[in-house]
Structure 1
Amino acid sequence: MSHSPGRARRSWYFYDWANSAFVTTTQTVLFAPYLTVLARRAACPEAPEGCTRPLSVLGLPVAPGSLALYTITVATLLAALLLPFVGALADRTRHRHRLLACFAWVGAGAATAMVALGGDRWWLGVLLVLVAVVSLICSMVVNDALLCEVSAPEERDAVSSRGWAAGYLGGFLLLALNLLLVSTPGTFGLDEEWAVRVSLASAGLWWGLFTIVPVVGLRHLPARPVLDLAAAGPGERYSPAAPVRQLVTTLRGLRHHPQVLRFLLAYLVFNDGIQTVIAASSVYGQEELGFSSAQLLTTVLLVQAVAFAGALVFGRLAARFGAQRTITGGLGLWVVVVLAAFAVPRGAFPVWLVLAALIGLVLGGTQALSRSLFSRLVPVGAEAEYFSLYQAGERGTSWLGTLLFGLIAQLTGSYRPALVALLAFFVVGAVLLARVDVPAGVQQARRGVNPVR
Structure 2
Amino acid sequence: MTEGKVITTSKKVTNGWAMYDWANSVYNLVITTTFFPIYFLAVTGSNDQEHKVTFLGREFVNSSLYDYILAVAYLIIAILYPILTSIADTRGNKKNFMRFFCYMGAIGCSALFFFKSDTLLLGVIAFMMAAMGYVGSLVFYNAYLPEIAAPEDRDRISAKGYAYGYIGSVLMQIVGFVLVMTMSDPGLATRITFLLVGIWWFAFAQITFAALPQSNVVQTKKGNVIQEGFQEMKKVYDQVKHMPILKRFLRGFFFYSMGVQTVMLAATIFGSKLLGLPDTKLIVTVVLIQLVAILGAWGMSRLSAIYGNLKVLMGVIVFWIIICILAYYTAGVAEKGINAEYHFYILALLVGLVMGGIQSLSRSTYSKLMPDTKDTASFFSYYDLTEKLAIVIGIFTFGRIEEITGTMKNSVLSLIVFFAIGLVWLYSALYKQKQTQTA
TM-score, normalization by structure 1? 0.81
Match of 2:426 in 1: 433
Match of 1:363 in 2: 355
Shift of 1:28: 2.2
Q: Kindly indicate whether residue 288 of structure 2 is the aligned counterpart of residue 302 of structure 1.
A: yes
Instruction: Name the CA shift for 1:96/1:35 in 2 (closer, same or farther; >3 Å).
Output: same
Instruction: Write out per-residue CA displacement over residues 257-294 of structure 1, whole angstroms, 9 at most, x where no aligned residue.
Output: 34332211100111112223334434544565553333
Instruction: Write out per-residue CA displacement over residues 341-382 of structure 1, whole angstroms, 9 at most, x where no aligned residue.
Output: 345554243443233212101111111100110112223122
Provide the identity percentage. Answer: 29
Conserved 8 A contact 2:142-2:380: yes
Instruction: Name the CA shift for 1:209/1:373 in 2 (closer, same or farther; >3 Å).
Output: same
Match of 2:322 in 1: 336
Shift of 1:297: 2.6
Instruction: Name the CA shift for 1:175/1:438 in 2 (closer, same or farther; >3 Å).
Output: farther
Instruction: Write out per-residue CA displacement over residues 39-68 of structure 1, whole angstroms, 9 at most, x where no aligned residue.
Output: 67xxxxxxx8669786452xx324483554
Greater CA drift, 353-362 or 293-302: 293-302
Task: Quote the Cα distance in structure 2 between the aligned partners of 1:30 and 1:337.
Answer: 23
Instruction: Name the CA shift for 1:303/1:405 in 2 (closer, same or farther; >3 Å).
Output: same
Instruction: Name the CA shift for 1:73/1:294 in 2 (closer, same or farther; >3 Å).
Output: same
Shift of 1:104: 0.8
Match of 1:158 in 2: 156
Match of 1:24 in 2: 29
Q: CA RMSD in A?
A: 3.2
Tell me how many residue pairs correspond in the alignment: 419
Conserved 8 A contact 1:79-1:138: yes
Match of 1:423 in 2: 416
User: Map of 1:370-449 to 2, 5 A cutoff?
Assistant: 370-379=362-371, 380-402=373-395, 419-436=412-429
Match of 2:188 in 1: 194
User: Map of 1:16-165 to 2, 5 A cutoff?
Assistant: 16-35=21-40, 55=54, 57=56, 60-63=57-60, 65=62, 67-94=65-92, 96-118=94-116, 120-165=118-163
Match of 1:256 in 2: 242
Other structure's SS at 1:256 match: coil
**Amino acid across the alignment from 2:128:** L
Greater CA drift, 299-308 or 94-103: 94-103
Shift of 1:106: 2.5
Instruction: Write out per-residue CA displacement over residues 190-224 of structure 1, whole angstroms, 9 at most, x where no aligned residue.
Output: x33321221101111111111011101113x6x51
Shift of 1:402: 4.7
Shift of 1:143: 0.6
Match of 1:205 in 2: 199
Instruction: Name the CA shift for 1:281/1:439 in 2 (closer, same or farther; >3 Å).
Output: same
**Amino acid across the alignment from 1:211:** A
Match of 1:45 in 2: none
Please, which runs of 5 or more residues in structure 1 have no aligned partner?
41-47, 444-453
Greater CA drift, 431-440 or 306-315: 431-440
Task: Quote the Cα distance in structure 1 between the aligned partners of 2:327 and 2:51.
Answer: 32
**Amino acid across the alignment from 1:75:** A
**Amino acid across the alignment from 2:119:** R
Task: Quote the Cα distance in structure 2 between the aligned partners of 1:55 and 1:423.
Answer: 31
Match of 1:321 in 2: 307
Other structure's SS at 2:129 match: helix
Please, which runs of 5 or more residues in structure 2 have no aligned partner?
1-7
Q: Highest CA radius of gyration, 1 or 2?
A: 1
User: 152, 157, 177: which one pairs with 1:179?
Assistant: 177
Task: Quote the Cα distance in structure 2 between the aligned partners of 1:354 and 1:393.
Answer: 31
Other structure's SS at 1:398 match: helix
Task: Quote the Cα distance in structure 1 between the aligned partners of 2:232 and 2:24.
Answer: 29
Other structure's SS at 1:224 match: coil
Greater CA drift, 379-388 or 413-422: 413-422
Greater CA drift, 397-406 or 290-299: 397-406
Q: Kindly indicate whether residue 39 of structure 2 is the aligned counterpart of residue 6 of structure 1.
A: no
Shift of 1:154: 1.4
Conserved 8 A contact 2:12-2:211: yes
**Amino acid across the alignment from 1:161:** A
Task: Quote the Cα distance in structure 1 between the aligned partners of 2:431 and 2:150.
Answer: 16
Task: Quote the Cα distance in structure 1 between the aligned partners of 2:410 and 2:98.
Answer: 42
Task: Quote the Cα distance in structure 1 between the aligned partners of 2:33 and 2:364.
Answer: 25
Conserved 8 A contact 2:83-2:228: no
Shift of 1:248: 4.0
Match of 1:44 in 2: none
Instruction: Write out per-residue CA displacement over residues 67-99 of structure 1, whole angstroms, 9 at most, x where no aligned residue.
Output: 544332221111111112222222224352232
Conserved 8 A contact 1:291-1:347: no
Match of 1:281 in 2: 267
Match of 1:265 in 2: 251
Greater CA drift, 424-433 or 406-415: 406-415
Shift of 1:416: 5.1
Shift of 1:124: 2.1
Instruction: Name the CA shift for 1:434/1:243 in 2 (closer, same or farther; >3 Å).
Output: same
TM-score, normalization by structure 2? 0.84
Conserved 8 A contact 1:86-1:385: no
Task: Quote the Cα distance in structure 1 between the aligned partners of 2:410 and 2:25.
Answer: 32
Match of 1:449 in 2: none
Instruction: Name the CA shift for 1:277/1:225 in 2 (closer, same or farther; >3 Å).
Output: closer
Conserved 8 A contact 1:107-1:135: yes
Task: Quote the Cα distance in structure 2 between the aligned partners of 1:440 and 1:196.
Answer: 49
Instruction: Write out per-residue CA displacement over residues 208-249 of structure 1, whole angstroms, 9 at most, x where no aligned residue.
Output: 111011101113x6x5141x44xx6xx54x967544443443
